[in-house]
Amino acid sequence: MRKEDAKHLQALLQKSRAQEAQATKLAEEREKKVLQLKDKVEKFRRRDVDRAAFLEETRSRHLQEVTMLENVRPVIQAQLHHLLTLLCKIIKDLHEKLESEGQTRRIFEVNDQKRCSKLESRLFVAKAPAEGTVEKLGKNKSALPITTLQPAT
């Protein structure tokens, strides 16, 4: 029985060594897996820290821009007010100039009308005696000598 017991013990010993090797292998795999998970956690943590730093930097920059814009706003408003005032003055000046040109044009039109009326009356005055002369000449046809033009030789 001793041989059988020895064989049995040897088989148990081999089995126990195999189980121990498997347990060691599993422990190493678990340790490797734990290390991988720790690396992933560290990467995520670093990424979150980097993202938080980026967000904080962006927030700080945006706050600076808002502050700058708030400081510049009154200056821009004053400049806009000044520009609007100048624009209103230019429009007013142009309107006055157009009114003045319109009045000048109306004065010229009135003067032109007066000149035309005077010329028409002069024409009428000059036309009346001429018409009388033409009529007189028409009545006295016999008084006018009839001449014919001879071609030059």
Task: Report the distance separating Cα 61 and Cα 38, nearest Å.
Answer: 34
What is the per-residue pLDDT for 102?
87
* Residue-level pLDDT at 81: 95
- Give the model's pLDDT for residue 1: 63
Question: Which pLDDT score is estimated for 85?
Answer: 95
8 Å CB contact between 145 and 138: no
Read off the pTM. Answer: 0.39
- Residue ranges of the chain with per-residue pLDDT less than 70: 1, 127-153
DSSP class per residue in 18-35: HHHHHHHHHHHHHHHHHH
Print burial letters for 16-34: b (CB count within 10 Å at least 16), e (below 16): eeeeeeeeeeeeeeeeeee
pLDDT of residue 116: 87
pLDDT of residue 135: 64
pLDDT at site 105: 87
